[in-house]
Structure 1
């Protein structure tokens, strides 16, 4: 197993088709990446939040998507790019979503991440957006 050094940075990107099965591929790939880098204590939270972002990217857009995982300066940043340039809807309050089957993604991200946001982004000639979160307590 690799051990993270404080000044060592790394990054992975996984490009995925618009297919609901890609969410499982991303979740399993993320678990493997974080385990191999010695970040096992944040795997469950990172996996949950990344699954929400990737699921939103696949279910609410028609184009390709990507998962990006980056470690830099003891901060883990995970995000999903999709081909829809529209900003994500505002996160709802988790207390209001107890029985809801949809709409929990960004509420979970807001509740569990140290920081989150989004930005317009183009990839391979496709316009879209990048929604991300950080887990600063990953170190």
Structure 2
């Protein structure tokens, strides 16, 4: 898991730097790492990262092969009390919006979890 998350973070930083969006890099890296780590940790099968820039908003999303909602079962009321399960709490706290949707492609099921980060 660690290597995939590291590759995503470094690639995202490079992309943002090349497009003049380095000011978003620290927060975007954190969000991407949490989304990808969640996809890898809680699902079986492939996972991937998608980054999209539109009208001053950076959308970061991770897809995976598990169609279940992204909330971990029995998520603690206070994420500071848990060893794990803080990923989506961080995504909620650090992004301007987030959500998820089920995916159905070529007979395969999965989900896409995304968050938005405004440039302003």
Could you tell me the TM-score, scaled by structure 2's length? Answer: 0.89
Matched, 1:46 2:28: yes
- Structure 1 contact 57–80 (Cα < 8 Å) conserved: yes
Aligned CA RMSD, in angstroms, stands at 1.8
Matched, 1:65 2:47: yes
Q: Structure 1 segments of 4 or more deviating over 4 A?
A: 90-93
CA distance, structure 2, for counterparts of residue 62 and residue 51 of structure 1: 18
Structure 2: give runs of 5+ residues left out of the alignment.
none
Structure 1: give runs of 5+ residues left out of the alignment.
1-18
Deviations 1:70-113 (A, max 9, x none): 001111100000000001117766xx222422011110111110
CA distance, structure 1, for counterparts of residue 105 and residue 62 of structure 2: 12
Secondary structure of the residue aligned to 2:104 is: strand
Aligned length: 118
Which residue does 1:16 correspond to in 2?
none
Which residue does 2:92 correspond to in 1?
110
